[in-house]
Amino acid sequence: MKLSLKTSESFNEVMKLYLPTVYRIAFTRLKNAADAEDAAQDVFLWYFKADKTFESEEHRKAFLIRCAINRANSYASSAHARHTAKGELLENMTEISCDNASETVLKTETQREVLDAVMKLAPKYRTVIHLFYFEDMTIAQIAEVTDSKESAVKSRLMRAREKLKSTLGGYEFD
């Protein structure tokens, strides 16, 4: 099954499905909501202009993730990014629903603590952590979209976990 914008699928449907993923990847790299929004818009503009045919949804997702990583890296190294103050890290945290208000506060604080620690990691570590834990990608898939060897991805993931473990103390990352 070939997937293309020229077939019956809608650009809006694709954007609705993958915008959260693209945005989160950009935000993980850029640490700024406005910059992540700009990067996500650029990714979908590239997608629309590319008018590529994809072999599967996984192929389309890999293309969009690769574009998101590239755009975020380009933006992060731009003169604008070097001269712009970084935004709030916790602006776009999702709300947790719990029956007990104290549980909600505890979970939110824990999330903030973990998010802060992840955002302090070097970009190469943040990227693999995000793709592995939040996008449920395999090491092989991460290697493909980051143009890295699997051994490099494994090494970055291991180092990132070690850094997070030392920063966060008692948390376990499996």
| 29 in any annotated domain | yes
| 18 in any annotated domain | yes
pLDDT tens digits, one per residue of 60-102: 888 999 999 999 888 887 766 555 544 333 444 443 344 444 4
CATH number at residue 54: 1.10.1740
pLDDT of residue 49: 84
Mark whether 65 and 112 lie in a shared domain: no
Contact predicate 11/5, CB 8 Å = yes
Mark whether 63 and 114 lie in a shared domain: no
Mark whether 78 and 133 lie in a shared domain: no
| 5 in any annotated domain | no
> At residue 154, does pLDDT exceed 90?
yes
The owner of tokens 């449920």 is 136
* Rounded CA separation 10/116 (Å): 37
pLDDT of residue 58: 87
pLDDT tens digits, one per residue of 6-17: 454 678 888 889
pLDDT of residue 123: 87
Within 10 Å of residue 21's Cβ, how many Cβ atoms? 18
**CA distance readout (Å), 157 to 75, 82, 149, 160, 172:** 24, 27, 12, 5, 14
Q: Which residues pair with 79 in a beta bridge?
A: none
Q: What is the pTM of this model?
A: 0.60
What range does the domain containing 23 cover? 11-82
* Rounded CA separation 53/16 (Å): 19
pLDDT tens digits, one per residue of 21-66: 999 989 888 888 888 899 999 999 888 888 778 888 888 888 999 9
